[in-house]
Amino acid sequence: MLREKLWAKSLSTRIMFSAASLVVVLALCYSFAIWRSVHFVESYLMSESMAVDFQHLKEELDEGAAPRLDPGESAYGSGIAGLAPIPERFKDLDEGYEELGESPAVYVYKQKYGGRDLVYVRDQENFERQENLLWLQTAGFGILVIVFGGLLGLWLARRVILQPVSRLAREVQASAKSSPYRPISEAVMTSDEIGELARICNDALGRLHSSLEREKSFTNDVSHELRTPLTVIATSAELLEMTPLAPKQRRQLEKITHSAGLMRDLVSLFLHLARQSSETHFEDGGDSVSGLLKRCAAVWREAAEKKGLRLTVETTGRCPGHYSPVLLVTVVNNLMRNAVEYTDSGSVELEETATGFLVKDTGPGIAPGERELIFEAQKRGSAAQKNPGAGGCGLGLSIVRKICSRTGWTVALRPSEKGSVFEVTLVARSTAGRLDEQ
């Protein structure tokens, strides 16, 4: 959990945390080394010193003289003339040197003398005061090391590590946003890893820019070339409309005029999607969802009836707002085309809801493993591949998702026992609820 939170932070935060952790670990290791060294030196020197003094004590006892002890020193012996009995706290100690930390803290050296226990004791309180002072000095020095190391790490992180990285980030950002394309500055392309990364980013951005320019040029050319035959079709349809026509012929002419207008709007839509990198704005004068759904259903009703399908339009809620006819009709038509083409029997239903609409069919459905795959460009489900009579090249649903992502809508394939159910959400449920209450 800590690692995930740390990696979610910025690079500077991670470097500072690593540097601070390293300084703290080094300070703790340094303090531990001092503690062990002081403890070892204390034990070694004190044991050697007390061994020498103990030898002098025995020599004085051999001469029958009273032991000469410095302040803070004392000697005890069991049945030894001139010495006080051994206190209870020293009776069970092993022979040799020992340090007792209980108050009062003392150093004890115990050995046999004439077959009896002889104990030499030296006060430790003064040394303990000096030792505590040493620990305070060590702790203060450790804090200074941590503070100084942290400040030094901050300076090094900003000036030595982060400065070239930040400069590279600024260069890449400026290069990515520039129009026309501006290569990354040569000053960033040093001989180290940062320079190598700068060269890789420069090459990648250059290739991406060239690819986008080629795509934009191709889109402009295709859009320009398509408009010429569309204009011819629209003009011819207008001329035909001026001539006497039978009712059936006039209905067919209306379909031609409507489809030509829709195709012209689609060309403008695709050109707009190719040029825009983010938000797609609605044009003024949008239509309601109810009206657009009815118009789309009328377009596909004849194709559905030829296959023996029942096409219905239902309303379980009113979706608020007005929307771009080109964008919304493109989404609905692509979903309706798939529903009609891949359904051999049963029905196709177009249902308006409080947040958008549903397209339901009783076709073969989509396998669970293909539910996300079908929204990718030029990807078709197994049911579509088994149906050679169905047209399309796997672009319809990818266009639907692209339009939805640009407009803030969502498209999803809902679970169903039979067939497929696509749900398009135009407004959030909370927003729809507030609008319905007004």
pLDDT of residue 435: 43
Report residue 11's pLDDT band, with 50, 70 and 90 as the boundaries. Answer: low
Is 127 within 8 Å of 143 (Cβ atoms)?
Answer: no
CB-based contact 317:361 (threshold 8 Å):
no
Residue-level pLDDT at 8: 52
| Residue 87: closest CA among 72, 101, 74 | 74
**pLDDT for 434:** 45
* Angstrom distances, CA of residue 122 to CA of 94, 105, 119: 17, 9, 10
Question: What is the reported pLDDT for 436?
Answer: 46
Residues 6 or more apart whose CB falls under 8 angstroms from that of 39 comprise none
Cα separations (Å) of 328 from 225, 259, 262, 319? 25, 15, 12, 13
Of residues 378 and 137, more confidence is placed in: 137
Residue 356: is its pLDDT beyond 90?
yes
Number of H helices, E strands in the chain: 12, 11
Single-letter amino acid code for the residue at 175: S
3-state SS track over 300-315: HHHHHHHCCCEEEEEE
> What is the chain's mean pLDDT, rounded?
78
Q: Given CA atoms 412, 381, 277, 358 in this order, what sign does their dihedral have?
A: negative
37-41, 78-82, 348-352: range with highest mean pLDDT: 348-352
The confidence score (pLDDT) of residue 40 equals: 76
Order of strands, edge to edge, in the sheet holding 73-77? Answer: 73-77, 116-123, 106-113, 96-100
Tokens coding 174: 């400026």
The percent of residues above 70 in pLDDT, for the chain, comes to 84
Q: Who wins on pLDDT, 245 or 81?
A: 245
Count the Cβ atoms, other than its own, within 10 Å of residue 77.
Answer: 21
Give the integer Cα–Cα distance in Å for 296 and 303: 12
pLDDT at 383 over 70: no
Position of tokens 């531990």?
32
- Is residue 403 over pLDDT 70? yes
**310-315 and 347-352 beta bridge pairing:** parallel
**pLDDT (tens digit, 9 = 90+) per residue, 288-315?**
888 889 988 988 998 899 899 999 999 9
Biggest CA–CA distance in the chain, Å, is: 152
pLDDT at residue 173, as a whole number: 83
Domains within the chain, CATH numbers bracketed: 2-132 (no CATH), 193-275 (1.10.287.130), 287-437 (3.30.565.10)
Provide the Cα torsion 104, 105, 109, 110; round to 10°: 50
What average pLDDT does this structure show over 318-342? 87
Confidence band of 191 (pLDDT split at 50, 70, 90): confident
Distance, in Å, from the CA atom of 405 to the CA atom of 402, rounded to the nearest integer, reads 5
| pLDDT tens profile 214-242 | 777 777 777 767 777 878 888 888 888 88
DSSP codes, 387-403 = -TT----S-HHHHHHHH
Do residues 300 and 334 lie in contact, with contact meaning Cβ atoms separated by under 8 Å?
A: no
Asked whether the beta carbons of 223 and 267 are under 8 A apart, the reply is: yes
Q: Residue 177: name the closest of 152, 146, 208, 153 by CA.
A: 208
pLDDT of residue 278: 41
Between the alpha carbon of residue 388 and those of residues 294, 330, 381, 418, the distances in Å are 29, 24, 12, 21
Instruction: Output the CA–CA distances (angstroms, integers) from residue 399 to 274, 286, 331, 369, 411, in the order listed.
Output: 12, 20, 8, 21, 11
- Strand 287-288 with 96-100, pairing: unpaired
DSSP class of residue 255 equals H
